[in-house]
C-alpha cells in the first residue's frame, strides 16, 4: 500500500512537470489532406471484367444456338446452319407453341413488373429529394 502512494506521488510530479501538448495551428488541414490522399488511392473496379462477361455471353449464345439446332434433324454443312437460323419456320415457330404459361404466372409477372416500376418511381423521387 505504501508503494502505491509513492507511485502516485511520482506520477503526479511527472504530470505537473510535463507541459500540455497542443496540436499545430494547421492540424485539421493536414489531417484532411491525408484523408483525401487515402480516398484518392482507393480505386474501385468491377468484380467481373468486361472480357469475362463477353466470353460468358458468347459461350451462352453458342450453347443456345447448339440447343436449338439439335432437334431439327439437319446434320450440317456450314451453310445449313445459317439457313437454319434465318428460316424462322424451322426452329422458332416449331418451339414457340411449346411455351405455355398459366394465368397465375402471367398475373404474377405483371404484378411484379408493376411493383418494380412503382418502386423505381418512388425511390427515384426519394433520392432526388434527399440529395437535392
3 vs 9, 78, 103, CA distance in Å? 10, 97, 87
Looking at residue 57, its pLDDT comes to 94
- Amino acid 1: pLDDT: 61
Please give the grid coordinates belonging to residue 80: 445449313
Cell numbers standing for residue 113: 413488373
- Residues with Cβ within 8 Å of 69's Cβ and at least 6 positions away in sequence, in order, are 76, 81, 84, 91
Query: Hey, where are the domains in the chain?
Result: 39-99, 101-132
pLDDT at position 51, please?
A: 93
Helices 50-70 and 78-86: angle between axes, nearest 10 degrees: 90
Which residue positions in the chain have pLDDT lower than 50? 74
Amino acid at each position: 500500500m505504501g508503494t502505491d502512494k509513492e507511485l502516485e506521488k511520482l506520477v503526479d510530479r511527472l504530470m505537473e512537470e510535463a507541459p500540455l501538448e497542443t496540436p499545430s495551428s494547421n492540424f485539421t488541414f493536414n489531417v484532411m489532406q491525408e484523408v483525401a490522399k487515402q480516398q484518392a488511392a482507393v480505386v474501385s473496379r468491377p468484380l467481373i471484367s468486361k472480357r469475362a462477361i463477353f466470353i460468358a455471353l458468347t459461350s451462352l449464345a453458342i450453347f443456345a444456338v447448339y440447343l436449338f439446332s439439335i432437334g431439327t434433324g439437319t446434320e450440317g454443312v456450314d451453310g445449313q446452319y445459317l439457313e437454319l437460323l434465318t428460316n424462322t419456320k424451322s426452329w422458332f415457330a416449331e418451339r414457340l407453341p411449346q411455351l405455355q404459361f398459366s394465368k397465375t404466372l402471367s398475373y404474377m409477372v405483371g404484378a411484379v413488373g408493376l411493383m418494380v416500376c412503382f418502386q423505381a418511381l418512388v425511390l427515384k423521387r426519394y433520392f432526388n429529394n434527399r440529395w437535392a
